[in-house]
Amino acid sequence: MDEPLPSATIRTRVTVPLRFPDGYVTTARVHTFHGLVDGREHLAFGLGEPGGAAPPLVRPHSECLTGDVFGSQRCDCGPQLREAVERIAEAGGYLLYLRQEGRGIGLYAKLDAYALQDDGLDTYEANLALGRGADERDYTVAAQMLAALGVDRVALLSNNPDKADQIERLGITVADRVATGVHLSPANAGYLAAKVTRADHALDLPFVP
């Protein structure tokens, strides 16, 4: 870590019952924070009970309105969110819900990128064509939230090596990397392939060597 991580504090904590469209239910302890560096309203969902000396299972999940809420099949965000909540509830840990729509470029720009993808660009090329970064997400707030929660070691539930690298550089030890499932559909096959070939995501796709 090049510079000390700015401190954040827990603002409030409230218990929220969760229910997903497939009927899965659980309860989360939802935390809000003071002092997050970007000033956005990120949330930490405490799920289950961490066991013994094992590090908590943690997924930093970037907001995806189209996938998380409306069930868009152009990405795998909604299924990953659903999977993560259940796996973390079983193991004990935190889902960090980060307000970084469209890999950090925002909702409208993400939809502009969809239009470019319809013309043949992949998801990373489309962001670049809009004059944005291929992936603008910054996980400083994730590290701040974990530090505020008293967590300095995690089992990271993610296929994205950049998440692990950033979290480590920010002073949180990634004791284990845990892969998510592969949520493949005809509509998101190209999107998932781009994740593997352009950003080294750990996804075992049958059509990507």
Distance CA 41, CA 110 (A): 20
Considering the candidates 122, 137, 152, 165, report the single residue annotated as catalytic: 137
Catalytic site includes residue 169: no
- Going by C-beta distance under 8 Å and a sequence separation of 6 or more, which residues neighbour residue 106? none
Residue 135 known to be catalytic = yes
* Catalytic residue, candidates 11, 22, 135, 204: 135
Which of the residues are catalytic? 135, 137
